[in-house]
Amino acid sequence: MKLSQNTEQLLLRFFKSLELCQTLFLESHIGYVIARRNDGKFFVVNNAFVEMTGYSRKELLKLHYRDVVPKESVPWIRNVIMTKLENESATDVFDSRIVRKTGGVTWVQSRIYRIDDEYVLVKEIDITKAKVTEAELIRSLNLNKKELPSTITSTERSIARLVASGMSSKEIAHHVNLAPRTIDNHRSSVRRKLNVSNALALREALQSYKI
């Protein structure tokens, strides 16, 4: 793959030689992207990321991240994930989705690294197969589980699912972009509706329900 002079200079900021860059970045089975920090404009995309999206490299270099992720994810990525880079060199690892050109979805495990004030490096690992397997396992396990009471709202159900996975209120708040106090209120509501005596027992109780 022939690179433009500007692209070579950009990549050589992070790699000691173009040969090393070619091996570790451009030809990696992991998706890598260099994007503009303030608006997510794509500047460099490797072969693996091109394959994940279904777009051509030429098409991607005209797009921004907001063009290839679900619309509902854009505020969370901008306000929660990217805000971490104001004071830290990298975000936490998080699961997200890429909307393919054909309309399908690729599940990815992502992490964003701050390069400088202008650029970020994004690492994307395709976890679609793992997500499918997880969903099949959950469906299998749910065959013998009870339905949640109809009084539990859709928001409470979503939070209950995260509680059941072992996440704390602070972690859930970070995940769904709500205040920890709001999460605690929803947890208390679910606990009352399930007639669970205390917060510590809630996760165990949720294991017997379809969520």
Reduced to 3 states (helix: H, G, I; strand: E, B; else coil), residue 112 is: strand
Task: Report the C-alpha gap between 16 and 10 in whole angstroms.
Answer: 12
pLDDT tens figures, 111-131: 999 988 899 999 999 998 888
State pLDDT tens for residues 69-114: 988 888 888 888 888 888 899 999 998 899 999 888 899 999 999 9
Q: What is the mean pLDDT of residues 128-141?
A: 74
Residue 140 binned pLDDT confidence (cut-offs 50, 70, 90): low
CB 106 within 8 A of CB 128: yes
pLDDT band for position 21 (cuts 50, 70, 90) = low
Mean pLDDT computed over every residue of the chain: 85
pLDDT at 24: 73
What is the predicted pLDDT for the residue at 17? 62
- As annotated, the residues of the chain forming the CATH 3.30.450.20 domain(s) are 5-127
CB 34 within 8 A of CB 10: yes
Q: What are the Cα distances from residue 94, in Å, to 9, 150, 173, 200?
A: 29, 31, 14, 26
For 50-59, write each residue's pLDDT tens digit: 999 999 999 9
- For residue 182, the model assigns a pLDDT of 93
Q: What is the pLDDT of residue 40?
A: 93
- Cα separation, 168 vs 118, in Å, equals 34
Q: Where are the alpha helices (DSSP H) in 23-127?
A: 47-53, 57-60, 74-76
Q: Which of 12-16, 44-48, 163-167 has the highest average model confidence (pLDDT)? A: 44-48
Q: Can you give the pLDDT at residue 198?
A: 81
pLDDT value at residue 143: 64
Give span(s): CATH 1.10.10.10, the chain.
Answer: 145-210
- Distances in Å between the alpha carbon of 155 and those of 63, 121, 181, 198, 208? 33, 33, 15, 20, 19
Architecture of domain 145-210 in CATH? Answer: Orthogonal Bundle (1.10)
Mean pLDDT value across residues 39-62: 94
Per CATH, the architecture of 5-127 is what?
Answer: 2-Layer Sandwich (3.30)
Q: Which of 2, 16, 128, 18 is nearest to 57 (CA)?
A: 2
Distance (Å, rounded) from C-alpha 99 to C-alpha 118?
Answer: 25
Say if CB 211 and CB 160 are below 8 A apart: yes
Could you tell me which residue, 189 or 207, shows the higher pLDDT? 189
pLDDT at position 109? 94
